[in-house]
Structure 1
Amino acid sequence: MVITAPSVRPRNPRFSSGPCAKRPGWSLAALEGALVGRSHRAKEPKARLAAVIDRSKALLGMPAEWRLGIVPASDTGAVEMALWSLLGPRKVDAIAFESFGEAWVTDIAKQLRLEHRVLRAPYGQLPDLASVDWSRDVVFTWNGTTSGVRVPNGEWIAPDREGLAICDATSAAFAMPLPWDRLDVVTWSWQKVLGGEAAHGMLALSPRAVERLLSHTPAWPLPKIFRLTSGGKLSEGIFRGETINTPSMLCVEDALDGLAWAERIGGLPALIARTEANLAAVAVWVERTPNYAFLAADPATRSPTSICLSITAPWFVALPAERQADAAKRIASLLEKEGVALDAGGYRDAPPGLRLWGGATVETSDIEAALPWLDWAAETVGVAMIEAKAAE
């Protein structure tokens, strides 16, 4: 039995959750002015690094008193710098509802060996946020890139908290409102919502976080790449474009191009609107397809960027659990072979399913064109597996 393929294809089939799709209309010509072959410490290159910082702060509506710096090793590096530099004076609550939250638990428990408590939830759900103890430092992801779940807002974060709110916002920044008055550390990377190139992270610190840096000396050695203070003072240059290590000026130019595009289309409100429109298109389709459902069942906590889908086709549900992962991979491989949804497989530790990036650089028309192909792939793989079973 042959399933008829859809007639319309996405113009851009790139739905990877990182690195993410480039902004509409992007080409290599956007990088022609890059200051390649120049020292990043020279006046003009340093000015461009500072421009990434200043324009990011402005686009996000970050308070003027916050510091923002470009740091190495993407969002992972930014989070690690925060954990190793700031934690220690207080007990820690670590919130884990997807793989990156679990990675920070590993740091806290096994590397830093701090007194801590873990608040966990399975993929697709959030733990009880009301049980967080704000006398402690709290480490959490705003949006679960691998689970399709986000915290609904910042109301659960105590305004009079004693501890620091340390937030990994890599797949939330520029796509969701962030309540700066409820946060103390915020991290992200260039390659997510604005579609920049990989390897560079952003570390934002509130005045409370800076105060912690200046008053607390970690009990463990800090490698040079993590050091945010020198001689008991904040290394202010990091927050003016004087990076700890050598950045790529090609990537810097690309980051500036993404910021300029965001400014042209209307800034943060436009970025959020584009992202929410992508989720809305998927939601309309999920209502009518028998083949898929959202991994995050609660609409209030459903991510509009990392849109994670469970496979609900009857033939798939009837499979033994050990065969479902293989079937999901076959669906993702078929989508890639057809060139209609690249990198759409679910995260390796998540329940078997698919994942579509819905951030602002993705056109809603491409999402809408891809969705019938997801149905086609599920039905095609299902028929093949049923026929193979019958032939045994």
Structure 2
Amino acid sequence: MADMMKPAQRPANPLFSSGPCAKIPGWTPDLLKSAFLGRSHRAKDGKARLKRAIDLTREVLEIPETHLIGIVPASDTGAVEMALWSMLGARGVDLLAWESFGEGWVTDVVKQLKLTDARVLKADYGALPDLSAVDFTRDVVFTWNGTTSGVRVPDASWIPADRQGLTICDATSAAFAQRLDFAKLDVVTFSWQKVLGGEAAHGILILGPRAVERLESYTPAWPLPKIFRMTKGGKLIAGIFEGETINTPSMLCVEDYIKALEWAKALGGLEALIARADANAKAIADWVARTPWIEHLAKEPATRSNTSVCLKLSQEAVADLSPEEQAALPKAIAATLDKEGAGYDIGAYRDAPPGLRIWCGATVEQADLEALLPWLDWAYAQASAARRAA
């Protein structure tokens, strides 16, 4: 295997980062010539571009009219924390965590907000918590797709329609690649930098009627910074959900997001985006099935992500490796592909088990993923040979 020939063809676009993710196919800075720059975002035309982004989000994601859509600061993190700080505390909360970002929301609620009536339902990387154990008389906070574990909830059938608490869903690596059941989700958040390859620093906050009712009927015991405030005088600030942002957005980033949404609409909308991600993930899965040295981190096929596909060395591959070698080998593979210009940013997330993470969202071309696979085999052969020679 050490004598394996270096592949002759590199991916045309070797960008496989899980965020920020690859731009839409054919992207160039020329697409942003129409950006509303050098003017106030509160001018008529500025607000129109922001409203255009909101309207296209609704159309492409098929968000019902019952739900409001706002552009908010600080990426998905800002959107999630706006919801946590503004809505939690009215009743007990169940927190689901099976990867790094879910763990982050646990830290926010337990250590920062210091809510005492908080249950944490955890699972190791590669698995889901017991969804049947969730108590929907309480608020529930969860990620739809675990970006750092490659594990997603299969659907929303585990969420009852007659729930008493709110469901707060971080959907940042699921939106535009997995179908979200908005009737079951009271709060949904994501950032532009994931499936549509937008620029960072802005988040989307989607509120259902039950979330609005909570905001207008409940005042948290703690102070809220300006960028978290969504009500005034006990009423929702409606302008936030019509393009009147809380703080100054980058209109260059707004234009980039609009162009990505227009690309998605022209492609065929949500179903087309899901189909592209599914096909990309299948290309990886087919390779894993025929490759003895690698396997999925997600144990159950039904809960495997079609965007942030996380892989680990197989039991066969690690049989004679020390824990240090098991950690070093995937890093060597990622470093080799980076050096060769064949695939960038494919190492596992820093808090995840050692392995590889390959973004398969809709902006990635299947041909590029298929061109990456021989390079993974070659890099593994090189790293294994170097270990034996050491």
**What TM bracket, shorter-length normalisation?**
over 0.9
Deviations 1:47-72 (A, max 9, x none): 00011111101111111021110000
Checking the alignment, whether the CA contact within 8 Å between 1:175 and 1:359 is kept in structure 2 is yes
SS of the residue aligned with 2:141? strand
Checking the alignment, whether the CA contact within 8 Å between 1:140 and 1:166 is kept in structure 2 is yes
Q: What is the distance in 2 between the residues matched to 1:284 and 1:323?
A: 26
Q: Structure 1: any 5+ residue segments left out of the alignment?
A: none
Deviations 1:143-202 (A, max 9, x none): 000000000000001111000010000000010000111110000000000110000000
Task: Report the Cα offset of residue 312 of structure 1.
Answer: 2.2
Q: What is the distance in 2 between the residues matched to 1:345 and 1:204?
A: 31
Checking the alignment, whether the CA contact within 8 Å between 2:294 and 2:317 is kept in structure 1 is no
| Residue matched to 1:97 | 98
Task: Report the Cα offset of residue 379 of structure 1.
Answer: 1.0
User: Do structure 1's residue 52 and structure 2's residue 60 form an aligned pair?
Assistant: no
User: Do structure 1's residue 86 and structure 2's residue 87 form an aligned pair?
Assistant: yes
Checking the alignment, whether the CA contact within 8 Å between 1:290 and 1:313 is kept in structure 2 is no
SS of the residue aligned with 2:196? coil
| Residue matched to 1:303 | 305
| Residue matched to 1:67 | 68
| Residue matched to 2:192 | 190
Task: Report the Cα offset of residue 316 of structure 1.
Answer: 3.9
The worse-fitting range, judged by mean Cα deviation, of 10-19 and 290-299 is 290-299
User: Do structure 1's residue 354 and structure 2's residue 356 form an aligned pair?
Assistant: yes
Q: Compared with structure 1, are the counterparts of its residues 315 and 298 closer, same or farther at alpha carbon in structure 2 (3 Å cutoff)? A: closer
Q: Structure 1: which amino acid aligns with 2:209?
A: P
> Which of 147, 155, 158 is the equivalent residue of 2:157?
155
SS of the residue aligned with 2:194? coil
Q: Structure 2: which amino acid aligns with 1:88?
A: G
Counterparts of 1:1-392 in structure 2, within 5 Å, are 2-114=3-115, 115-312=117-314, 314=316, 316-388=318-390
SS of the residue aligned with 1:334? helix
State the TM-score, normalizing by the size of structure 2: 0.98
Residues paired across the two proteins, number? 388
Q: What is the distance in 2 between the residues matched to 1:162 and 1:372?
A: 51
Q: What is the distance in 1 between the residues matched to 2:190 and 2:144?
A: 11
Q: Structure 1: which amino acid aligns with 2:242?
A: R
Checking the alignment, whether the CA contact within 8 Å between 1:22 and 1:361 is kept in structure 2 is yes
Q: Structure 2: which amino acid aligns with 1:109?
A: V
Q: What is the distance in 2 between the residues matched to 1:328 and 1:60?
A: 35
Q: Structure 2: any 5+ residue segments left out of the alignment?
A: none
Checking the alignment, whether the CA contact within 8 Å between 1:150 and 1:301 is kept in structure 2 is yes
Q: Structure 1: which amino acid aligns with 2:122?
A: R
Deviations 1:1-34 (A, max 9, x none): 5431112211100000000000111111111111
Q: What is the distance in 2 between the residues matched to 1:159 and 1:208?
A: 12
Task: Report the Cα offset of residue 207 of structure 1.
Answer: 0.3
Checking the alignment, whether the CA contact within 8 Å between 1:19 and 1:192 is kept in structure 2 is yes
Q: What is the distance in 2 between the residues matched to 1:54 and 1:353?
A: 39
SS of the residue aligned with 2:190? strand
Give the % identical residues.
64
Deviations 1:106-133 (A, max 9, x none): 0110111111111100001001101100
State the TM-score, normalizing by the size of structure 1: 0.97
Q: What is the distance in 2 between the residues matched to 1:171 and 1:376?
A: 29
Checking the alignment, whether the CA contact within 8 Å between 1:328 and 1:352 is kept in structure 2 is yes
Q: What is the distance in 2 between the residues matched to 1:327 and 1:276?
A: 28
Root-mean-square deviation over aligned CA pairs:
1.0
Q: What is the distance in 1 between the residues matched to 2:350 and 2:70?
A: 31
Q: What is the distance in 2 between the residues matched to 1:316 and 1:383?
A: 14
Deviations 1:240-272 (A, max 9, x none): 111111100110110000000001110000000
Checking the alignment, whether the CA contact within 8 Å between 2:87 and 2:220 is kept in structure 1 is yes
Q: Structure 1: which amino acid aligns with 2:73?
A: P
Deviations 1:79-112 (A, max 9, x none): 0000000001110000000000000000110111
Q: What is the distance in 2 between the residues matched to 1:326 and 1:288?
A: 23
Checking the alignment, whether the CA contact within 8 Å between 2:292 and 2:317 is kept in structure 1 is no
Task: Report the Cα offset of residue 377 of structure 1.
Answer: 0.7
SS of the residue aligned with 1:309? strand
Q: Structure 1: which amino acid aligns with 2:240?
A: I
Q: What is the distance in 1 between the residues matched to 2:238 and 2:200?
A: 24
Checking the alignment, whether the CA contact within 8 Å between 2:32 and 2:256 is kept in structure 1 is yes
Task: Report the Cα offset of residue 328 of structure 1.
Answer: 1.7
